[in-house]
Structure 1
Amino acid sequence: MLALLSSLFFFMPAPMQAQLPVAVVERIHPGLDAVIDVNAKVAVIADGFEWVEGPVWIEKEKMLLFSDVMRNRIYKWTAQKGATLYLEPSGYTQPAPRGEELGSNGLAVNTQGQLVLCQHGDRRVAVMNAATADPQPRFTTLAGNYNGKRFNSPNDLAIKSNGDIYFTDPPYGLEKGPQDPAREISYQGVYRIAKSGAVTLLTDSLTRPNGIAFFPGEKSLLIANSDPQLPHWYIYDLNEKGNLINGRIFFDGTAIFKKEPRSPDGIKINKKGIVFAPGPGGVWIFDKNGKALGRIKTNLITSNCAFSGDQKTLFITADNCVLKVALK
């Protein structure tokens, strides 16, 4: 169980930082052995950011994109060049200065191959009006309000094969948090943007909806709830209209939260239905029925993850760095 952090890469000149804690793969159930080797090495591939989130792999360019939320930037990582600046600004495009979580968060690629962004500062879901190989800070709003009221701060998204975009809208990107006087929607919603542009509220019952991902077949959807009082992952079925029905707890994180306080965050699900879910201590790994198989324990505040094109590599955003680990 000695999976040492290796390949340290400092993106920009900075004073030498303390050595990062050792990351290990922890087995909870024998089913983990079919997913990842318990001796797999977890390597830091980029470091020196402020708070990284929302990773997405772009297969055509063989690059990983990820948000540095506080700095209003997106970086890219390639095996040849490491991490370099990709896009600035990424989530806040207004002239008035502001602080806190102003940049992009969740990133995804739509069915046309375009980059779609959850933009905290601009409080919208937008698409970049440029090819992913030639990024430009030009954006078109896909959804900026519901019934005339501006969103809180779209956080994470999942795109269905028919082009519909499902996204979460907690208050984390508001400059003054949930009590921000600029807040216009009192609840934390989960929404769908149809190809027509119509926006539908799917649920307003979750206290802090965050990560979101479809299971294979797109008949069910998983949502992470980043609430210390209700640190749960919820599963919903989808009806023929694509609406959420039969909501229930997929995994109750209360017990693990008491030991290691960090709520559920981003989610990715592979083609076999295995769930990779950042939360307390690192990335939790569940089978399709909600059984905990194990954890990639990063010993860092872990926000999100993404697969390579062949799903043989998992990239992890954690605090100020990006890690990767081989999967089976």
Structure 2
Amino acid sequence: MFIKKPVSVRTFIAFLMLLALTTRAQQPPVAVIERLHPNLDAVIDTHATVSVIADGFGWVEGPLWVEAEKMLLFSDVLNNRIYKWTAEKGTRIYLEPSGYTAAVPRGKELGSNGLAINARGQLVLCQHGDRRISVMNAPLANPEPAFITAAGDYRNKKFNSPNDLAVKSNGAIYFTDPPYGLEQGPEDPARELPFHGVYRIAKDGHVTLLADSLTRPNGIAFFPGEKQLLIANSDPQKPHWYIYDLDKEGGLANGRVFFNGTAIFQKEHRTPDGIKINKRGVVFAPGPGGVWIFNKEGRALGRIKTSLITSNCAFSEDYRTLFITADHCVLKVTLK
């Protein structure tokens, strides 16, 4: 390229801005909406834009929208922090440490994972490093790393690493306990329980084992009406989503496969992870190739398809916005 005559600084800056815009326009989208069934059209626009609202983390998980503070909370599991995002101020550290409070250094997935709000309006955390379900002993608006243990063991044996949770309207907390927070995984010598369980913490603090047959229980969510519970199994050998009926005591009954993920796992090697279900019973389930969208009967309607490894998702208060934790960043997309 030859420049025949000098150009002004303003012209040169304008040229650089145009070049930057052109380059940005050539970048592939973060994600696209893949339509597998016509009923997807009632859930999300196939031309919806998926945008990145936060980036630069280790591994993000457990997104939670807090309407009272108009903020999104999410865990950076590798860096032992919770961040908050607001539309006005972007991202900042919310809580540190979030999942491991001991003085002895350790690695791997040591931070918090799943987050929820309990019946008292308190933050509830799945703490990988401390291997417990805890409650933050501080107001949501003024967080502090002060925790009260809601449950840390079953029959005097420490949990593996509580991963995700769902709070029932009666105050009971249902949670999963796979081995991912153990430094050496399922073979870690510190492991005390011989299975990976699904548990319920009653309002009085009593812990009940609900299931011990799932190989890698992970995401967990209630369907509207709280008569059924969905659990993701993040095992490459059984990459399924399971549905259970809830009996009168709040236990699990009639467990069965909601969606068999074997075929999709063979194409894209990522297992089921977190789950969220909207008020219409539509399931949003991070898994192979992005976030899968199922109707309440288990039919795949579509997928928010991305090359990023998606871990979990959360709705805004009105269910019109979906936030997605994906590897090192957080995504946002508008729903119908």
Measure the CA separation in 1 of the matches of 2:233 and 2:325.
Answer: 18
Give the match for residue 288 of structure 2: 280
Between Structure 1 and Structure 2, the one with more helix by share is 2
Measure the CA separation in 2 of the matches of 1:21 and 1:122.
Answer: 38
Contact between 1:21 and 1:299, CA under 8 Å: does it hold in 2?
no
Matched, 1:264 2:291: no
Give the match for residue 7 of structure 1: none
Alignment of 1:60-99 (within 5 A): 60-99=68-107
Give the match for residue 35 of structure 1: 43
Q: CA deviation at 1:143?
A: 0.3
Contact between 1:278 and 1:305, CA under 8 Å: does it hold in 2?
yes
Deviations 1:281-305 (A, max 9, x none): 1000000000000000121110000
Measure the CA separation in 2 of the matches of 1:177 and 1:237.
Answer: 30
Alignment of 1:165-314 (within 5 A): 165-314=173-322
Give the match for residue 128 of structure 1: 136
Residues 190, 260 of structure 1: CA spacing in aligned structure 2 closer, same or farther, 3 A cutoff?
Answer: same
Q: CA deviation at 1:91?
A: 0.2
Task: Name the SS for the 1:60 alignment partner.
Answer: helix
Contact between 1:51 and 1:70, CA under 8 Å: does it hold in 2?
yes
Give the match for residue 142 of structure 1: 150
Task: Name the SS for the 1:195 alignment partner.
Answer: coil
Matched residues, percent identical? 77
Measure the CA separation in 1 of the matches of 2:220 and 2:300.
Answer: 18
Deviations 1:35-78 (A, max 9, x none): 00000000000000010000000000000000000000000000
Residues 45, 186 of structure 1: CA spacing in aligned structure 2 closer, same or farther, 3 A cutoff?
Answer: same
Contact between 2:268 and 2:288, CA under 8 Å: does it hold in 1?
yes
| Letter paired with 1:123 | R
Structure of greater Rg: 2
Residues 60, 20 of structure 1: CA spacing in aligned structure 2 closer, same or farther, 3 A cutoff?
Answer: farther
Measure the CA separation in 2 of the matches of 1:221 and 1:81.
Answer: 36
Measure the CA separation in 2 of the matches of 1:236 and 1:224.
Answer: 11
Give the match for residue 53 of structure 1: 61
Q: Any stretches of 5+ residues in structure 1 without a counterpart?
A: 1-18
Give the match for residue 158 of structure 1: 166
Residues 106, 243 of structure 1: CA spacing in aligned structure 2 closer, same or farther, 3 A cutoff?
Answer: same
Aligned length: 310
Q: CA deviation at 1:186?
A: 1.1
Task: Name the SS for the 2:230 alignment partner.
Answer: strand
TM-score normalised over the length of structure 1: 0.94
Task: Name the SS for the 1:233 alignment partner.
Answer: strand
TM-score normalised over the length of structure 2: 0.92
Deviations 1:203-252 (A, max 9, x none): 00000000000000000000000000000000000000000000000000
| Letter paired with 2:125 | L
Q: CA deviation at 1:20?
A: 7.3
Q: CA deviation at 1:21?
A: 5.7
Runs of 4+ in 1 over 6 A off after TM superposition: none
Measure the CA separation in 2 of the matches of 1:231 and 1:270.
Answer: 22
Task: Name the SS for the 1:44 alignment partner.
Answer: strand
| Letter paired with 1:30 | P
Measure the CA separation in 2 of the matches of 1:20 and 1:208.
Answer: 34
Measure the CA separation in 2 of the matches of 1:20 and 1:152.
Answer: 40
Measure the CA separation in 2 of the matches of 1:236 and 1:20.
Answer: 39
| Letter paired with 1:241 | E
Measure the CA separation in 2 of the matches of 1:43 and 1:21.
Answer: 8
Q: CA deviation at 1:22?
A: 3.4
Q: CA deviation at 1:179?
A: 0.5
Contact between 2:110 and 2:128, CA under 8 Å: does it hold in 1?
yes
